[in-house]
Structure 1
Amino acid sequence: MTTSHPEFNRDTEGLDVAKAFPDGIRNRTILVTGVNLGGVGFSTSQAFASQSPACLILAGRNLNKIQKCIDALKKDFPNVGYRALKIDLSSQNSVRAAAAEVLAWSDVPAIDIVVNNAGVMCVPERILTVDGLEMHFATNHIGHWLLTCLIMPKLIKSAEGKPKGTTRIVNVSSLSPTIATMRWSDINFDKPNKELPEAEQPPYAMLEAWGFADCRNRAYIPLDGYNRSKVANVLFGIGATKRLYEKYGIYSLAVHPGIIETELGRDFNEEQLAALAGMRTKGIFIHQTLGAGASTSLVAALDPKLKPGETVNGRENHGSFLVDCQISDSATPLSVSSSEAEKLWALSEDLVKEKFSW
């Protein structure tokens, strides 16, 4: 399995991907979470807006920030219908209220593409949300998973009568699935890392390279919290595809958007910033433009050649994770495991106290 455009790469701009697949966008309704000026959510929305979708729903915590994005997009693309959706993904009540609002929009009968782009990264101290969950996991995974499950009737409506795989859910992950796994036995980071089962212990060398010390004796390390939630983004896509693709033709997959300077890194301390600068000097990290940060999400949302993953070379779910606009096999086996995806689905249902069956 390959993509339609094997020449697309790390430097491809989201606008160029949108131009390559205009029919996948025109007259469609698209929802993007985590949209603010100067972020990847905005450049993703901009790329979609360039090809005349019927409606672009921009979701975020701050309605003023979303309105600024809508105003900026309207200047260039005045003929698109825009909607602002207020949502705090760290609160299940807020997610439920936002989903109820979307379901109540009678003039938006279907949603064709969802890009779960919002995220928090490296929250300095462990914070438990109002629902009693660690902040990264609650925001980056549970909030998006719950929102997507609740608005599913509108995605199912979109998929009616269309070729399989036209309606899509894209989860914006990171490179974390290439080095991390889930922390099943201790999702709230209560235990020191050294007490975890071997398979759940974090990649110590990587965390130390980022400037975190004494990792074995600590329970919560900001980057580890982020990494675990980003593995969940991939597993969520695998679990959703299993439930929705054969039955309705809805396809879900995850992407690493690239290394882009945005507000996401606002919580880095001096050690992390120094470590990052060192990695940049060595060429380990190469920064991309905001537009390039949108491109892999656009490929995942639009490329008709992408199909749910098969087992290739003994690895499950080939095609569930994209990097630099192409299918990547760089994720750890546990990050693309069907059984891990089922475990996450069951856990997610327990944590929101609701089971979903469509």
Structure 2
Amino acid sequence: MTATTYSNFDEKTESLEVAEKFADQIHGKTILVTGVNRGGIGFSTAKAFASRSPSHLIIAGRNTSRIQECIDALKVEFPHVDYRALKLDLSSQKVVREAAAALLSWNDIPEVNILVNNAAVMNLPDRTLSEDGLEMQFATNHIGHFLFTCLIMPKLIKAAKNSPKGATRVINVSSLSPTRAGMRWSDINFEKINKTLPKEEQPPYGMHRTWGAIEPEEKSYLPLEGYNQSKVANVLFSIALNKRLYEKYGILSIALHPGIIQTELSRYAAPETLKAMGEFLKKGDLYIKTLGAGASTTIVAAMDPGLGMPRERDGKENLGVYLIDCQISDKADPRAISSNEAEKLWTLSEELVKDTFSW
């Protein structure tokens, strides 16, 4: 049975502590982290990896100057790591393809051992479409990562051929959304009024009211629901990857909720959402993690050798593909860990990027 190695790790465990425990797994590896900036958990994640001497640490992000700022800061503490900058705007399929082509052309980095799909946008106040015509949160948080992961697969497969089964991994940083939401199959772009959707696709209205939404049934786009769908997709993506890659190549994919952390991710939140968050904090209903603790579950997912292919337990599919507070969680909604839902998402994702993938 797959299980974490350290049952004492929890919501307060810092990522540097986790990295120390898994130092042997990190040393000498090539690791890529998307969405790295100084004020986010992407940087804390990169810092934890850098602390244990990976061979190459690839820092990916939209803004090249901010990427370089991160690399400069990491070099001060950990100068012996080979850092690489990769410009990656996940909202643009064209730019994603360019970034993947650039990475594949780096002959001195023949393989990628760990890919951490960390980048995200959240709570865009108004429905916004990407240049490819997709709702922006879904386009960035899922489709961009789907396309990038599939395109760089040759380097992950090469790493897997030289590694123990399950050591090469694709980590999808999700959220708490999979515990309460599912996919909006009939209206991916949020064009229909919520109350007109099939019952199983309608948003959890009570949750949205709690977060400041007024008459959510009468709206089509809800900022938090756009985020929810993209984060459910992160978990389903891991399940679909495992089906295609684990038995054939030994590549393992795990999704996780990093916790609630004060970062730039909430910069687009509407006033009513920020007000609701303030009330939760006053009541003590939210636990805010440090940046370091926010990265710890990612490090566990990426490096813990105790984690393997998840198995069914008590009728629940894919138990083990989703972690919370450094441990395997069984709190995901059945829709968010369904193999059937994962296959539907894979088919849709290929349609949206106008490409098909098999290895």
**1:114-169 CA distances to partner (integer Å, 9 max, x unpaired)?**
00000000011101111110000000000001000000000000001321100000
* RMSD, matched Cα: 0.6
Q: Deviations over 1:40-71 (max 9, x none)?
A: 00000000000000100000000000000000
Alignment partner of 1:353 is 2:354: yes
Does residue 55 of structure 2 align to residue 59 of structure 1?
no
Corresponding residue for 2:201? Answer: 200
Secondary structure at the aligned position of 2:288 is classed as coil
CA distance in 2, matches of 1:355, 1:51: 37
Cα distance in 1 for partners of 2:348, 2:151 equals: 17
Query: Which residue in the other structure is 1:115 paired with?
Result: 116
- Please name the residue that 1:41 is paired with: 42
Amino acid paired to 1:240: L
Q: Tell me, in whole angstroms, the C-alpha distance in 2 between the residues paired with 1:134 and 1:177.
A: 19
Amino acid at match of 2:308: K
* Secondary structure of residue in 2 paired with 1:322: strand
CA distance in 2, matches of 1:244, 1:194: 39
1:173-225 deviations in Å (ceiling 9; x for gaps): 00000011000000000000001100000000000000011100100010100
Q: 1:50 & 1:169 partners in 2: Cα distance?
A: 20
In the alignment, which residue of structure 1 is the partner of 2:102? 101
- Range with bigger deviation, 157-166 or 33-42: 157-166
- Please give the secondary structure, in 2, of the residue aligned with 1:99: helix
* 1:16 maps to amino acid: E
Equivalence for 2:76: 75
Partner of 2:248: 247
Q: What secondary structure sits across from 1:252 in the alignment? A: strand
Note the C-alpha offset of 1:284. Answer: 2.0
State the match for 1:277 in structure 2.
278
Alignment correspondent of 1:313: 314
How is 1:1-358 mapped onto 2 (pairs within 5 angstroms)? 1-358=2-359
Deviation at 1:270, TM superposition (A): 1.8
The one-character-per-residue Cα deviations of 1:18-61 (angstroms, maximum 9, x if unpaired) are: 00001111010000000000100000000000000010000000
In the aligned structure 2, how far is the partner of 1:281 from the partner of 1:4? 35
Alpha-carbon shift at residue 108 of structure 1 (Å): 0.3
The separation in 2 between residues aligned to 1:219 and 1:308, in whole angstroms, is: 37
**Structure 1 gap ranges (5+):** none
Equivalent residue of 2:261, what SS?
A: coil
Partner Cα separation in structure 2 for residue 57 and residue 109 of structure 1: 13
How far the C-alpha of 1:78 sits from its partner, in A, is 0.1
Matched residue type, 2:180: I
- AA aligned to 1:138 is A
Cα distance in 2, alignment partners of residues 284 and 253 from structure 1: 27
**Percent of residue pairs identical:** 61
> The residue matched to 1:216 in structure 2 has which SS?
helix
- Measure the CA separation in 2 of the matches of 1:253 and 1:86: 24
Letter in 2 for 1:24: Q
Aligned residue identity for 1:315? K
* Letter of the 1:228 counterpart: Q
Task: For 2:256 and 2:284, locate their aligned partners in 1 and report how far apart those are by CA, in whole Å.
Answer: 22
SS of residue in 1 equivalent to 2:260: coil
Q: Give the drift of 1:269.
A: 2.1
SS in 2 for 1:211: coil
Structure 1 SS opposite 2:36: coil
8 A Cα contact 2:123 2:270, kept in partner: no
Task: Give the AA of the match of 1:55.
Answer: H
- Give the match's secondary structure for 2:31: strand
**TM-score normalised to the size of structure 1?**
0.99
Residue 277 of structure 1: how far off its partner (Å):
1.2
Q: Read off the aligned partner of 2:20 and give its amino acid letter.
A: K
2: CA distance, partners of 1:243 / 1:283? 43
Q: Comparing 303-312 with 145-154, which one deviates more in the overlay? A: 303-312
Kept after mapping to 1: 8 A contact 2:92/2:144: yes
Contact 2:89/2:95 (8 A) holds in 1: yes
Q: For 2:283 and 2:240, locate their aligned partners in 1 and report how far apart those are by CA, in whole Å.
A: 37
Q: Deviations over 1:273-299 (max 9, x none)?
A: 110011122222110100001000000
**In the aligned structure 2, how far is the partner of 1:88 from the partner of 1:327?**
31
